[in-house]
């Protein structure tokens, strides 16, 4: 078994830095290439991998991730491809979580999904459109199978709401830095530090910031106040722009190295 | 008249209808949905809001609209006594204006300056653009590129009314994708923008709120049928896209078990072909666009593309209250395919001198089926949800009328 989310956050804390969390959809641009790209990301310094489960209606995602999941679905991505991907990258040493819209998990069966994910070595699931109010069966299933549940807080969340979200969350809290969809941005929202400050007052869980981080400098800026830095669209964009698989692999590794330096304050 | 809500069957305070409904949304929207819920509940008991909305319904929409006896059309329905609830005579040409005026007033109460909407047939987009013009709000309408083509007239109407129309090129380029795009806009602009969802779908409070603003249909129809027939109808019939016109009519008769409630979904090329929008025949419970409800989906929970000649019924999900009414058996849902709908479309044109929206033609086809089943003593109310002006091109192509040729 690879390091748990708690292990990773404990380790980076002793190293005096933030964790680097990288997202890529499973099966993008194809099942085999997807695994190779994620392994390249991990080899170049990503601490936790978010494996996206491609979904037909990604209404929280901007154009880059929309394009990527569309390609992945055309190339045959299913929940089983996601689980295979987790199994393979776990075998290579990665700490993996799944990121999924709710319907595919509900359709697969919450207990079945939790059990299979645990069996292939996955550590958690991020569910951006599952609210704590609707999460009853999910909480039971993930608890039974030792899977961490990552929920989101947003700049518009009240303190009361943040407390509710944190009460059902484990592993880490995902702080959405901005009001908007995924996508690389030139600046990280000024709302993020305040959201992290408010969240920290209400929980002892590690807090990772996502949405809009795309460069080493931004990673350094966010690492100054958050326990984790989440990067997705910027990786996806490098792959979309690459003329072939070899270029994509080295572009992903280059970005991971730049970001890994950033979360170390360099 | 007081606007009073009949508690929807099985609805709880958190916005569920039995196991359906609820909220499946990014956390960024929670605060806005809470704000909307609070504004809605405060407004509907505020005499000022009630009076303002009733005034607009009367003086702007033209309510109450008539309940028209369709005797010649009734002959094609097994001789049943058919009554048409004339939502087609509302300003802007469909029932959609009922919901939009209510939500536009709420937008102003919440202090927001901009509204966005999705639209399929364009009727909700036109209604939204109309209300925005009337109340001085900015307006952006998202519409699948495929729909901008088949409802070009409504695109022009929206633009004339000052709205920005954004063609959506993602996915199947129809209503479902327009909703995705509207949601993306909303999460990014929610502090100054209200999302005027056009039907009884989506996260709570939309299904109960949109229902509330359409209950006027059922209230009027009930009063009107009692006045003319001296009794309740045997059945109420409506087409079901998201289900707003249907729930509006049904709401007036929900607690009268002797009144059958019948919803007609788009059968497209036929349910067996897979090219349809019959959620209750070929869908299963799932989550789409913020609510748990019947969804057309594959074995992995990916949404399947829907298909119908009618843009307004071409949607793979349905309002959660309909899912509950379906499961409890209070309402019965059946598909009507393109061919049957267009036969009913032609029938109403030729027997009553009324050109219906193709959406509404699905309800008319349902009435033809049901009337033959129930016989000449039956009293049936059909919700004529909209007029067919927007569909003239589609219908002309269907019936082989050459628009370019001189008579
Ligand atoms: C005339 C008309 N009827 C019905 C519908 C379907 O919507 P709903 O099921 O919400 O009434 C539409 C939607 O565009 C419409 O324009």
B67-69/B81-86 β-pairing: antiparallel
Ligand 1: nearest atom to the Cα of B121: 14
Q: Which residues of chain B neighbour A128 with C-beta distances below 8 Å?
A: 26-27
| DSSP 8-state class, residue B306 | P
**Average of per-residue pLDDT across A148-153:** 98
Minimum-distance CB partner of A161 among B30, B188, B289: B30
pLDDT of B6 > 80? The answer is: no
Average pLDDT value over all residues in chain B: 95
Ligand 1: nearest atom to the Cα of B201: 10
Instruction: Please name the residues in contact with A22: beta carbons below 8 A apart, sequence gap of 6 or more.
Output: A38, A41, A42, A46, A48, A49, A50, A230, A231, A232, A235, A256, A259
Looking at chain A from residue 178 to 207, which residues have their Cβ under 8 Å from any Cβ of chain B? Answer: 179-181
Burial class (CB in 10 A: 0-12, 13-18, 19+), A53: buried
**Average of per-residue pLDDT across B224-241:** 98
Least confident piece of the model among A8-22, B161-175, B292-306:
B161-175
pLDDT of residue B402: 86
Distance CA B30, CA B37 (A): 10
pLDDT of B254 > 50? The answer is: yes
Give the model confidence (pLDDT) of A176-220 as tens digits.
988 888 887 777 778 999 999 999 999 999 999 998 899 999 999
pLDDT of B304 > 60? The answer is: yes
The two structure tokens encoding residue B187:
């999460």
CA distance A54 to chain B (A): 9
**Average of per-residue pLDDT across B180-186:** 95
Looking at chain A from residue 239 to 258, which residues have their Cβ under 8 Å from any Cβ of chain B? Answer: none
Contact: A158, B300; criterion CB under 8 Å:
no
In percent, the amount of chain B with pLDDT more than 70 equals 96
Torsion, CA A121, CA A123, CA A125, CA A126, rounded to 10: -130
Distance CA B239, CA B266 (A): 8
How far apart are the CA of B195 and the centre of ligand 1, in A?
Answer: 18
A173-176/A152-153 β-pairing: parallel
**Residue located nearest, by CA, to atom 15 of ligand 1:** B312
> Among all residues of chain B, which has the CA nearest to that of A153?
B27
Number of C-beta neighbours around residue B407 at 10 A: 2
Average pLDDT value over all residues in chain A: 96
pLDDT of B5 > 60? The answer is: no
Q: Which of B104, B106, B364, B381 is nearest to B217 (CA)?
A: B381
The two structure tokens encoding residue A37:
């790209």
pLDDT of residue A190: 85
Give the model confidence (pLDDT) of A223-239 as tens digits.
999 999 999 999 999 99
Give the model confidence (pLDDT) of B336-372 as tens digits.
999 999 999 999 999 999 999 999 999 999 999 999 9
**Average of per-residue pLDDT across B165-179:** 90
Q: Does A128 lie at the interface with B, CB-CB under 8 angstroms? A: yes
Give the model confidence (pLDDT) of A29-43 as tens digits.
999 999 999 999 999
pLDDT of B407 > 60? The answer is: no
pLDDT band with cut points at 50, 70 and 90 for residue B108: very high
pLDDT band with cut points at 50, 70 and 90 for residue B404: confident
Q: Which residues of chain B neighbour A167 with C-beta distances below 8 Å?
A: none
Q: Which residues of chain A neighbour B288 with C-beta distances below 8 Å?
A: 57, 103
Phi-psi region of B388 (alpha: psi -120 to 50; beta: other; left: phi over 0): alpha
Residues B174/B147, Cβ–Cβ less than 8 Å: yes
Residue B118 bears catalytic tag: yes
pLDDT band with cut points at 50, 70 and 90 for residue B9: very low
CA distances from B40 to A120, B43, B58, B192 (A): 47, 5, 21, 17
Q: Does B301 lie at the interface with A, CB-CB under 8 angstroms? A: yes
**Average of per-residue pLDDT across A138-150:** 98
**Average of per-residue pLDDT across A232-250:** 97
Distance CA B401, CA B281 (A): 33
pLDDT of B218 > 70? The answer is: yes
pLDDT of residue A1: 85
pLDDT of B8 > 60? The answer is: no
**Average of per-residue pLDDT across A109-122:** 98
Contact: B180, A57; criterion CB under 8 Å:
yes
Mutation test residue for ligand 1: of B245, B265, B387, B395, the one with most atoms within 8 Å of CB: B245
Interface test with B, best of A26, A27, A57, A153 (most B CBs within 10 A): A57
pLDDT of residue B406: 60
Q: Which residues of chain A neighbour B22 with C-beta distances below 8 Å?
A: 131, 133-134
Q: Which of B329, B327, B319 is nearest to B288 (CA)?
A: B319
Distance CA B104, CA B132 (A): 7
Residues B246/B376, Cβ–Cβ less than 8 Å: no
Number of C-beta neighbours around residue B106 at 10 A: 22
pLDDT band with cut points at 50, 70 and 90 for residue B174: confident
Q: Does A158 lie at the interface with B, CB-CB under 8 angstroms? A: yes
pLDDT band with cut points at 50, 70 and 90 for residue B3: very low
Query: Which segments within B23-79 are labelled E, that is strand?
Result: 67-69
């Amino acid at each position: 078994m690879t390091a748990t989310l708690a292990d990773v956050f404990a380790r980076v804390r002793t190293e005096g830095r933030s964790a680097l969390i990288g997202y890529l959809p499973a099966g993008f641009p194809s099942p085999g290439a997807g695994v190779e790209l994620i392994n390249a990301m991990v080899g170049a310094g990503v601490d936790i991998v978010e494996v996206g489960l491609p979904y037909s209606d990604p209404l929280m995602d901007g154009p880059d991730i929309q394009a990527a999941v569309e390609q992945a679905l055309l190339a045959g991505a299913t929940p089983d491809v996601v689980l295979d991907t987790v199994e393979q990258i776990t075998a290579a040493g990665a700490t993996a979580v799944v990121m999924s819209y709710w319907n595919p998990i509900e359709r697969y069966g919450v207990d079945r999904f939790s059990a299979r994910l645990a069996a292939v070595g996955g550590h958690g699931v991020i569910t951006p459109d599952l609210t704590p109010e609707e999460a009853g069966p999910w909480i039971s299933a993930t608890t039974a199978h030792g899977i961490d549940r990552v929920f989101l807080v947003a700049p518009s969340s009240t303190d009361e709401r943040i407390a509710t979200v944190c009460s059902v969350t484990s592993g880490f809290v995902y702080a959405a830095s901005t009001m908007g969809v995924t996508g690389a941005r030139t600046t990280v929202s000024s709302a993020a530090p305040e959201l992290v400050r408010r969240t920290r007052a209400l929980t002892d869980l590690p807090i990772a910031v996502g949405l809009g981080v795309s460069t080493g400098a931004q990673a350094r800026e966010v690492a100054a106040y958050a326990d984790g830095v989440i990067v997705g669209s910027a990786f996806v964009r490098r792959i979309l722009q690459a003329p072939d698989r070899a270029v994509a692999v080295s572009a992903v590794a280059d970005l991971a190295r730049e970001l890994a330096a950033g979360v170390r304050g360099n | 008249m007081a606007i009073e809500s009949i508690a929807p069957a099985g609805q709880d305070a958190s916005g569920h209808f039995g196991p359906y409904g609820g909220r499946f949304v990014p956390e960024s929207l929670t605060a806005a949905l809470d704000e909307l819920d609070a504004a809605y509940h405060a407004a509907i008991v505020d005499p000022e809001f009630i009076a303002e909305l009733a005034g607009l319904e009367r003086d702007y929409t033209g309510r109450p609209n008539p309940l028209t006896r369709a005797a010649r059309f009734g002959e094609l329905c097994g001789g049943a006594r058919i009554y048409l609830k004339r939502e087609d005579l509302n300003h802007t040409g469909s029932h959609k204006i009922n919901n939009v005026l209510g939500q536009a007033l709420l937008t102003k109460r919440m202090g927001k300056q901009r509204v966005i909407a999705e639209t399929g047939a364009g009727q909700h987009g036109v209604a939204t653009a109309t209300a925005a013009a009337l109340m001085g709000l900015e307006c952006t309408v998202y519409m699948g590129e495929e729909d901008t083509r088949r409802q070009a007239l409504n695109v022009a109407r929206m633009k004339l009314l000052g709205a920005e129309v954004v063609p959506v090129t993602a996915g199947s380029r129809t209503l479902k994708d327009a909703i995705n795009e509207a949601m993306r806009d909303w999460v990014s602009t929610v502090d100054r923008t209200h999302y005027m969802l056009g039907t009884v779908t989506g996260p709570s409070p939309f299904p109960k709120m949109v229902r509330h603003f359409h209950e006027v249909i059922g209230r009027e129809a009930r009063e009107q049928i009692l006045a003319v027939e001296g009794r309740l109808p045997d059945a109420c019939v409506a087409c079901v896209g998201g289900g707003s016109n249907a729930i509006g009519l049904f709401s007036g008769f929900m607690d009268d078990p002797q009144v059958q409630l019948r919803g007609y979904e788009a059968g497209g090329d036929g349910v067996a072909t897979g090219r349809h929008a019959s959620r209750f025949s070929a869908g299963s419970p799932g989550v789409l666009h913020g609510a748990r409800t019947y969804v057309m989906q594959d074995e992995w929970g990916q949404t399947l593309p829907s298909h119908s000649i009618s843009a307004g019924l071409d949607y793979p999900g349905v309002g959660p209250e309909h899912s509950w009414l379906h499961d409890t058996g209070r309402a019965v849902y059946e598909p009507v395919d393109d061919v049957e709908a267009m036969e009913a479309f032609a029938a109403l044109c030729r027997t009553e001198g009324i050109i219906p929206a193709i959406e509404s033609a699905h309800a008319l086809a349902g009435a033809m089926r049901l009337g033959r089943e129930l016989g000449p003593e039956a009293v049936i109310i059909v919700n004529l949800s909209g007029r067919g002006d927007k569909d003239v091109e589609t219908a002309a192509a269907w019936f082989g009328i050459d628009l370019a040729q001189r008579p």
